[in-house]
A and B are shown apart, each in its own frame.
Chain A
């Protein structure tokens, strides 16, 4: 079979690319190895309210479990910082429905979609990648395409087989484990995050409410930790006397949080989303980043096809690095500083901030936050803390 574009992977980035390219009138096939697109997920399902308008995604209640109004942060000794907005700031999705609907929008726009179709390898002709060797159920298929989009998630197999270097060492990943479970005692209008080097080394524990008494309760820790993410989550639940007796679902996965693939295009092959490690390194969320990368990639795919000039695809690398890549590099810098915080630092900072102007913090004005912290006597007496904070300015 032959298409203008073949997209490998129907998570977040894949369907955005497939939809946009199909809308422009080009033939697209999107394949996914899953037999039900969206299942299983590797996600805590929280996303900013802004993405729906920005990426032209219907605000459809069928995939929105709950609207949330902000976040509550907890320090290792129990200091709390609440950031609550008047308006809805985000939603907790149902990825099983959301991903399938994104694929449906792509299909409606004209893309072909094949579930249970696993990409096995690239097809090369005269050294150039000309398509994808795949398997639909047990039937081998060969998909020839001008442009190949590797949106195949953290495994990133197709990008790597096409010769794009997406490899990262283990400390650049977080290891995650999550229950969807019944849980009580947490404000279901906020997401809740617990920090601490004993609680979740380099990461955090989260409670993302899907209902008044039902939530995604998960953890991310450094992937090169000798203990497992599951170990730390079960320990946290036990220590906080939260019964884990009503478990509706369990999800696991690795999250690339340590930097981004440099070359996002090789000839006619593009890599997007988790496969390109386009994830926010601070919180480990990658859906909005995948949508942004998918939007930029699809723009240049359409231009390259229109002008019959595949070298234009390189502009995806350029534009991404000049925009979202630049933003995420800054976030990564902050993440690397926060990695050095001790439990005492976290206690102090959250304690100080809870008494500060939370409006400013909630509006995301980091500079004001750092300045507020720098004024505190316990910070002023510690050259190490001053150095850490100044790195963030």
Chain B
């Protein structure tokens, strides 16, 4: 099974431009005027958001599977 990841934001780099939400195929990212939100259940680990971010504010972490 492919590795599941979670997307994390570096808030000090993020401009809340909304680009990641735009390229996300599953609406797993929401960008509010007050903050960035990741919806784990919708994420398909495609990493498109990570490479599209103009400032490299997004990265991945392995998703901890509950034992």
Q: Which residues of A contact B (CB under 8 A)?
A: 33-35, 40, 42, 116, 118, 153-157, 160-161, 167-170, 173, 175-177, 223-226, 228-231, 250-254, 256
Contacts and interface: CB of A to CB of B under 8 A. Distances in A.
B32 A225 contact: no
Contacts of A223: 19, 23, 51-52
Given A155-B31, A254-B17, A228 B22 contact: no
A252 B19 contact: yes
Interface string B23-36: 10101001111000
Interface in B5-57: 15-19, 21-23, 25, 27, 30-33, 48, 51-56
A223 B58 CA distance: 14
A251 to B, nearest CB: 7
B55 A177 contact: yes
A177 B22 contact: no
B19 A254 contact: yes
Contact of A228 (B18, B32, B55): B55
Given A40-B15, A228-B54, A229-B55, 16 more contacts: A33-B32, A34-B33, A118-B32, A118-B33, A154-B22, A155-B18, A157-B21, A168-B23, A170-B48, A175-B54, A228-B56, A251-B17, A252-B17, A252-B19, A254-B52, A254-B54
Interface residues of B, number: 21
Contact of A226 (B16, B31, B51, B54): B51
Contacts, number: 83
Nearest to A33: B33
B52 to A, nearest CB: 4
Interface of B: 15-19, 21-23, 25, 27, 30-33, 48, 51-56
Contacts of A118: 32-33
B41 to A, nearest CB: 16
A225 B51 contact: yes
Contacts of B30: 157
Closest 7 CB pairs of A and B: A254-B19, A154-B22, A229-B54, A252-B54, A223-B52, A155-B21, A155-B18
Nearest to B49: A170
Given A170-B23, A173-B23, A153 B18 contact: yes
B23 A254 contact: yes
Which of B15, B18, B25, B27 has the most chain A CB atoms inside 10 A of its CB? B18
A296 to B, nearest CB: 23
Nearest to B32: A118
A40 B31 CA distance: 13
Contact of A116 (B15, B25, B33, B54): B33
B37 to A, nearest CB: 11
Nearest to A116: B33
A256 B19 CA distance: 10
A230 B18 contact: no
A161 B27 contact: yes
A226 to B, nearest CB: 6
A33 B55 CA distance: 22
A251 B18 CA distance: 12
B32 A224 contact: no
Nearest to B15: A252
Contacts of A228: 53-56
A230 B15 contact: no
Nearest to A228: B56
